[in-house]
Chain A
């Protein structure tokens, strides 16, 4: 599903990825590991199409509608409520029966009671939960998750564990993490950077 050859990405004089080869089969769960600054986030942004490689070739067999991306930022508007943010994304992703889908995700991630509060008032963990709702809203077949456990409390992390376990095999995962041990039961491969 993802094939990269000789991937490089430079930021000025700094080279972040150096000739990386990458193969991710459909349905695989691949963990990307590495120290800070090794290029995990950059790799995910390249695969998402948010950045272009400086050198090398990258082919991703999924269009934007099939892609779910969780980055360092929640990608939601602070002045809008959780419900309004997800309704906007549901509209843009043409999610069928969006009300039910949004309600189900908000309940699952424990945000239903605060659905009408502005996301700017949320804690870091709540924002991460909302970001996960946003990334999963359209039931993507390719999930690019950058430190998905970041900011989550024990309950939130358990919810995410369950979500990943449920989706494993149905979707393809590329997950950047500092904690590969947590994902080792799910992982089918690893990309050390």
Chain B
């Protein structure tokens, strides 16, 4: 119960910071809309469903990348992460709080992006929506851990995409697979497994990422 309250306090803090600064979410929403508009014109008329769904996943992934790159910026400024790490909370709660907040931003951006996709391209299937929901968890789970790792480094803006994109490739495979095959359950299961495995790994390793 105490752990959950710590997580809520930490996530609430991130939401409050975003409400005040308004730096991350507007950028994510504008980026995903601009990307979908660009794809709309880039894809030839009569382009395949498979191609457009692939573009949706690319847009989601890069929008998440944009948000996650900024995930630990408030902590990096003035070394606030030191203050959180010194407090007697379970350090994994810092990670869970960050996952919760970045997940909220990503879902908010998708609430705009998915209807826009339906408008520009085609109606979304329930399999795609389910895959996006599962993928969001995996993206934020892995992304928050890597963002914390990159925040400690010098070339963080370069380092984070280099770490994140290879690990996010299975999410692309699962997401596109769930939308275009006859056996979406297999791919949704794969995304669920990805979420579970990386959540356990990130939860267990976060302490070592934020301490020397």
Tell me, in angstroms, the Cα distance from A193 to B74 when the chains sit together: 33
Given known contacts A50-B212, A80-B16, A73 and B86 CB-to-CB distance under 8 angstroms: no
| CB-based contact A89/B87 at 8 Å | yes
* Contact segment of B52-60, B76-84, B153-161: B76-84
Given known contacts A50-B86, A92-B88, A80 and B13 CB-to-CB distance under 8 angstroms: yes
Known: A50-B86, A77-B17. 16 other contacts (CB 8 A): A50-B85, A50-B212, A52-B212, A63-B88, A69-B83, A71-B82, A76-B83, A77-B80, A78-B77, A79-B20, A84-B13, A88-B9, A89-B87, A92-B9, A92-B84, A92-B88
Q: Mark B6-28, 1 if CB is under 8 A from A, else 0.
A: 10011001001100110000000
Kindly list chain A residues whose C-beta atoms are within 8 Å of the C-beta of B50: none
In the complex, number of A-B residue pairs with CB atoms less than 8 Å apart: 73
Q: How large is the interface on B (under 10, 10 to 19, 20 to 34, 35 or more residues)?
A: 20 to 34
A–B pairs, 8, beta carbons within 8 Å: A52-B211, A75-B83, A76-B78, A78-B78, A80-B20, A84-B16, A88-B13, A92-B6
| CB-based contact A89/B83 at 8 Å | yes
Say yes or no: is B186 at the interface (Cβ < 8 Å to chain A).
Answer: no
Q: Looking at the complex, which one of B9, B13, B79 makes contact with A73 (CB distance below 8 Å)? A: B79
| CB-based contact B6/A75 at 8 Å | no
Overall SS of chain A's interface: loop
| CB-based contact A94/B88 at 8 Å | yes
Q: Mark A135-171, 1 if CB is under 8 A from B, else 0.
A: 0000000000000000000000000000000000000
